Amino acid sequence: MNAATALRLYRTMARIRQFEIGASRLMAAGRLPGTLHVSIGQEAVAAGVCDVLRGDDHITTTHRGHGHCLAKGGEPVSMLAELLGRASGYCGGRSGSMHIADPAAGILGANAIVGAGIPIALGGAFAAARKGRGGVAVAFFGEGAVAQGVFHESLNLAALWRLPLVLVCENNLYAELTPVSVHLAAERVADHAAPYGVPGTRVDGNDVLAVRSAAREAVERARAGGGPALLECMTYRWHGHFEGDPQQYREDAEVAEWKAADPLKRLAEALPDAASELAAIDAEAKREIADAVRAAEAEPLAAPASVSAHVYSGGAAR
Amino acid sequence: MSTTKYWRAVNAALHEELERDDSVHVFGEDVGVPGGPFAATRGLRDRFGEWRVRDTPISEAAFTGMAVGAAMAGLRPVAEIMYFDFMTLAMDQLVNQAAKMSYMSDGAFSVPLTIRTLCGGHRGSGPQHSQSLEGWLAAVPGLKVVWGGTPADAKGLLKAAIRDDDPVIVIESLGLWTRRGEVPDDPDHLVPIGAGLVRRPGTDVTLVCWGDTVAVAVEAAEALADRGVDAEVLDLRTLSPLDEPLILESLRRTGRLVVVQDAQGPCSVGSEVIRLAATDGFASLRAPAAQVMPPFAPVPFAPDLERAYYPGAEDVVSAALKTI
C-alpha cells in the first residue's frame, strides 16, 4: 500500500466525519433548519470510490450525500451555507442538504428521491461515452434504491449500451426505518449484476482500501470501454435515518458492533507508524470544518426576492 | 413553403436539428432501426448512426433520466415517449428532476432536454393511449409545454424546443398525423416558445384552442360566420408558459370566451385560461366564459363512443352562440 494514498484516504474520511458532526451539531442546536441525513460510519465508500475518479467524471448521490460531494471536490463552506439556507450556498438556499450540485466538481446532484440519481448518472455515462475521453459516471445509492424500477432499468440499459457507469450501492442494512430482510428478496445486492452480464462485487464497505481497490477495477474497466459494474459496499450509519430519528427499529448492540468497525479507526490500525500524522489530519479536519461552519453562518440568508429566480435557465421568472 | 404532412414535418425537424448540432441525440422505443412507431424518426438512424439515434428498452423512467443526465452533462437529448399516457412512467424524472434542476442548483445546471410524445386521441387508441395530460405538465414550474396544431407549428415548435436550454415537452397529435399543411422551407424557421397565434381574427367571440382542437375551432368559426358571428381563433401553441398578453388582448377585442379542449376540464389548461379571464381579463368580459370539453371520464375506444366523447365543431358553435 502506498503511504501517500492511505493518508489521502484518511484525510478525506476525516473531513467527511467532521463535516457530518458539524452539521449534526448545528441541527441539534436549532441552527440548521429542515431535515438532515448524515453519513457518519459510511465515510470509506465515498473516500475509496472518489479517490479513483477524475475531476471531469460525474457522480450522482442521495439524501445522504455530503460525503460523496466532499470526496468529489465539493467545497465545505458552500455546502454548509446551503444547509443553512444562505444565499452563497451551492443552491442559493433553495434546496438544502439533499440537492448539492456542482458542475465544476462533476456533481450532477444529490437527490431527495430514492433511486432517481441512477438514471441521471446513466446520462452522465452516455455523455462521457459520446465525448470519448474515457470519462465515467458513478451513481451512489443505498440498498433501498435496489427495490426501485430505475435501478434495474438503468442496469439493463447501461449493460446493453456498454456505458461507463459504475453503480455503487451503500448497503447500510436499512431502507429508512426498514431492515434489508424486509425490503429486498435477494440476499446480496451484487448478485443483481449477473443477469445483466455485468460484474457485481461485494466488498467490506468500512475498509477504505478494499473499497478503493474494487472501485479502481470497476472504473478502469469502464474507462477502457468495458461497460458498467455494480459494487456493493457493506456499511452502516451510526446515526438514525434522519437527525432525531428515535431508531426503534434497531438494537444498541448492533450499533455498538458497527461503531467498533469504524472505517477511520480501521485504517489507522493498518498504519501503526503514522499515528502522529493521522492525529494531525484529524486536528486539521476539525479546524477546517469549524472554520467553515463559522464562515457559512456569517453569510447572509437567501433573499426572499430570489424566490422565483432560475425556474428557467435564463433566470427569468415566468 | 412546401405542402407537407404533419408527421413529415416532425421528421424534417429532427433531420435538420441532428444535422445542425452534433450534441443532439435522439432515443426512445422503436425510434432507430424501425424508424419510429409512426415513422417520425424514419431515415434518421441510417443518416446519423446508432449513437445519435438509438432504440431503447421499454424503460421510460430510465431513458428519460438518462436524457436528463446527458443534458446536464452537455448534450441535447431528444427522448421520445411513444404515447402521452406513457409519460406517467417518467414523471419522477420530468417533475422532480428535469423541471427543478435549474432552480435547485441556483442556475448552475440547465437541462436542454426535449421530450417528444404523441397523443393518440381520435384514432380509437383506447383509454391508455389517448389521454391529454398537458394540464399536469403545464402545472409544473420549470417545464415548458408546446403542442402544434398544424404541420408548420409541429416543426417550428420542435426545432425551437431542441434549441431551448430548458426541458420542453413537445406534444404531437396522432389525429393530425397525416394532415397536410404549408411548412416553411427555411431550416432556421422556428416557432417561438411562449407565443400563441391568432389564426383567424374576429370581433365577437374568442375561441381558444390547441393541438387537435385547432381544426375544430377553425371549422366552428367558419360555421359561425355563416350565422353572422365573427369568431376569433386563438391557437395557444405553447401551454406553459401561457401567452397571457395575447389572450387578454383578444378578450379586449371580443369580450367573449369559449375554450375548446380535448382534455378533461378540472385543473386543465382551459381552466387556467378561464382563471385569467376571470381575473386580469374580467373587465373585458361581456358574457360568462364557456368551456367545451369531454366528459370527466377516460377516453373510450369504440368509434361512436369516441366521437361522442370529444367536442366537435357543432358543440363549439352552440357554446359560442350562447355567449352572444
Half-sphere exposure of B252 (CA within 13 A, CB side): 7
Asked if residues B16 and B9 have their Cβ atoms less than 8 Å apart, the reply is: no
Query: Model-level pTM?
Result: 0.97
Give the residue from B183, B207, B240 where a domain finishes. Answer: B183
- Residue-wise pLDDT tens digits, B310-320: 999 999 999 99
Grid coordinates standing for A128? Answer: 462521457
CA A44 to chain centre: 10
CATH of the domain at B231: 3.40.50.920
Cβ pair B72:A157 closer than 8 A: no
Q: Is B106–A90 a contact, with Cβ atoms under 8 angstroms apart?
A: yes
Note whether A154 contacts B96, CB cutoff 8 Å: no
CB-based contact, B97 to chain A, within 8 Å: yes
pLDDT for residue A316: 39
In a domain, B75, yes or no: yes
* Residue B217 included in any domain: yes
Is there a contact between A109 and B109 if contact means CB atoms under 8 Å apart? Answer: yes
Reduce the DSSP state of residue A205 to 3 states and report it.
coil
Identify all chain B residues contacting A157, using CB atoms and an 8 Å cutoff. Answer: 56-57, 59, 62-63, 66
A-B Cβ pairs (cutoff 8 Å, strict): 162
Q: Which of B122, B157, B183 is the last residue of a domain?
A: B183
Q: Which residues contact A184 (CB under 8 A, 6 or more apart)?
A: A143, A146, A147
Q: What is the 3-state secondary structure (H, E, C) of chain B?
A: CEEEEHHHHHHHHHHHHHHHCCCEEEEECCCCCCCCCCCCCCCHHHHHCCCCEEECCCCHHHHHHHHHHHHHCCCEEEEEEEEHHHHHHHHHHHHHHHCCHHHHCCCCCCCCCEEEEEECCCCCCCCCCCCCCHHHHHCCCCCEEEECCCHHHHHHHHHHHHHCCCCEEEEEEHHHCCCEEEECCCCCCCCCCCCCEEEECCCCEEEEECCCHHHHHHHHHHHHHHCCCCEEEEECCEEECCCHHHHHHHHHHHCCEEEECCCCCCCCHHHHHHHHHHCCCHHHCCCCCEEECCCCCCCCCCHHHHHHHCCCHHHHHHHHHHHC
Phi, psi for residue B302 in degrees, rounded to 5: -55, 135
Cβ contact, residue pair B66, A157, below 8 Å: yes
Compare CB distances from B62 to A119, A124, A310 and report the shortest one's residue: A119
Same domain? B206 vs B299: yes
Q: Cell triple for residue A198?
A: 455485468
Q: For residue range A228-283, what is the model confidence (pLDDT) as tens digits?
A: 999 999 999 999 999 999 999 999 999 999 999 999 999 999 999 999 999 999 99
> Does A126 contact B103 at a Cβ distance shorter than 8 Å?
no
Alpha-carbon gap: B232 to the closest alpha carbon of chain A (Å): 26
| ipTM metric | 0.96
Among residues B262, B32, B3, which one has the least CA distance to residue B125? B262
> A123: which 3 cell numbers?
446520462
In the predicted model, is pLDDT for residue A135 greater than 80? yes
Same domain? For B173 and B31 the reply is yes
Other beta carbons within 10 angstroms of residue A25's beta carbon come to 13
CB B260 within 8 A of CB B207: yes
Q: Are B1 and B182 in contact (CB under 8 A)?
A: yes
Chain A residues closer than 8 Å to B68 by CB? 119-120, 123
Interface of A with B in 169-208 (CB under 8 A): none
Q: Report, as an integer, the average pLDDT of A2-26.
A: 97
Residues of chain B neighbouring A318 (CB-CB closer than 8 A): 141, 240-241
Domain that holds residue B315: 197-323
Determine the pLDDT at residue A315.
Answer: 45
Q: Count of domains in chain B?
A: 2
Query: B281 near B247, Cβ under 8 Å?
Result: yes
Same domain, B28 and B150: yes
Asked if B73 and B220 sit in the same domain, the reply is: no
Question: Is B188 a domain residue?
Answer: no
Which pLDDT value is given to residue B133?
98
For residue range B228-267, what is the model confidence (pLDDT) as tens digits? 999 999 999 999 999 999 999 999 999 999 999 999 999 9
Q: Cα–Cα distance between A31 and A14 in angstroms, integer?
A: 23
pLDDT at A290 over 50: yes
- Indicate if B122 and B255 belong to the same structural domain: no
Q: Which of B115, B117, B91, B114 is nearest to B38 (CA)?
A: B117
- Residue B1 to residue A201: CA distance in whole angstroms: 59
The answer to whether B165 faces chain A, any CB pair under 8 Å, is yes
Record: contact A116-B96, CB cut-off 8 A: yes
Asked if the model's pLDDT at residue B297 lies above 90, the reply is: yes
For residue A142, list its beta bridge partners. A170
pLDDT score recorded for residue A318: 34
Nearest-angstrom CA–CA distance, B59 and B61: 6
Q: Are residues B15 and B139 in the same domain?
A: yes
Domain shared by B208 and B280, yes or no:
yes
Q: Is the pLDDT of residue A26 over 60?
A: yes
How far B147 CA lies from chain A's nearest CA (Å)?
Answer: 19
Q: Are strands A178-179 and A174-175 parallel, antiparallel or unpaired?
A: antiparallel
% of residues, chain B, pLDDT over 70? 100
Chain A CB contacts of B144 below 8 Å: 312
* Interface mutation vs chain B, best among A54, A153, A160, most B CBs within 10 Å: A153
Q: Which residues from chain B sit within 8 angstroms of residue A113, using beta carbons?
A: 92, 96-97
For residues A246 and A279, what is the distance between their CA atoms, to the nearest angstrom? 33
Angle at B246 between CA B243 and CA B248, to 5 degrees: 105
pLDDT tens for each residue of A99-121: 999 999 999 999 999 999 999 99
pLDDT of residue A234: 98
Give mean pLDDT, residues B12-18.
98
CA distance A232 to A222: 17
Q: How far is the C-alpha of A85 from the C-alpha of B212, rounded, in Å? A: 45
**What is the pLDDT confidence band of residue B57, given thresholds at 50, 70 and 90?**
very high
Catalytic annotation, residues of B? 129
From A293's Cα to the closest Cα of chain B, the distance in A is 21
Q: Is-contact B160 B119, C-beta < 8 A?
A: no
- Does residue B101 fall inside a structural domain? yes
Q: Which domains does chain A have, with CATH numbers?
A: 3-299 (3.40.50.970)
In a shared domain, residues B165 and B240? no
> Which of A111, A126, A314 is facing B66, going by the closest CB pair?
A126
Cα–chain-centroid distance for residue B27? 20
**Average pLDDT estimate for A215-235:** 98
Answer whether A132 touches B (CB < 8 Å). Answer: no
- Answer with the one of B140, B158, B183 that is the final residue of a domain: B183
| B22 and B171 belong to one structural domain | yes
Of residues B63, B166, B240, nearest to A157 (C-beta): B63
Nearest to A119 among B61, B74, B109 (CB): B61
**Cα dist from B172 to A313, B184, B293, whole Å:** 25, 18, 19
Q: Which amino acid is at B36?
A: G
B247, B288: one domain: yes
- Could you tell me which chain A residue has the CA closest to the CA of B54? A161
Could you tell me if B33 and B170 lie in one domain?
Answer: yes
A167 pLDDT tier (thresholds 50, 70, 90):
very high
Q: Treating both helix axes as pointing N-terminal to C-terminal, what angle do A3-28 and A275-298 enclose, rounded to 10 degrees?
A: 40
Q: Inform me whether the pLDDT recorded for B67 exceeds 60.
A: yes
Q: Could you tell me if B255 lies within 8 Å of chain A, comparing CB atoms?
A: no
The answer to whether B101 contacts A310, with C-beta atoms less than 8 Å apart, is no
Tally Cβ neighbours within 10 Å of residue A35: 15
> Is the Cβ of A313 closer than 8 Å to some Cβ of chain B?
yes
3-state secondary structure of A228: coil
Q: What distances in angstroms separate CA A283 from CA A11, A20, B73, one per listed residue?
A: 10, 15, 37
Tell me how far apart the alpha carbons of residues A38 and A16 are, in angstroms, rounded to a whole number: 10
CATH assignment at residue B26: 3.40.50.970
Residue located via cell numbers 445483466: A196
| Partner residue facing B73 (CB), from A91, A108, A149 | A108
* b/e per residue B224-245 (b: at least 16 CB within 10 A): beeeebebbbbbbbbbbbbbbe
Give residue A314's pLDDT: 76
* Biggest alpha carbon–alpha carbon distance for chain B: 58
Report yes or no on B132 lying in a domain. yes
Residue A18 has pLDDT above 60, yes or no: yes
Instruction: State how far residue A54 is from chain B, nearest Cα, in angstroms.
Output: 15
Q: What percent of chain A is modeled with pLDDT above 90? A: 98
Q: Judge whether residue A1 has pLDDT over 90.
A: no
Same domain? B170 vs B202: no
Burial A258-288 (b: 16+ CB within 10 A, else e): beebbbbebbbeeeeebeeebeebbeebbeb
In the beta sheet, which residues pair with residue A167?
A: A139, A230
Residue B191 lies in a domain: no
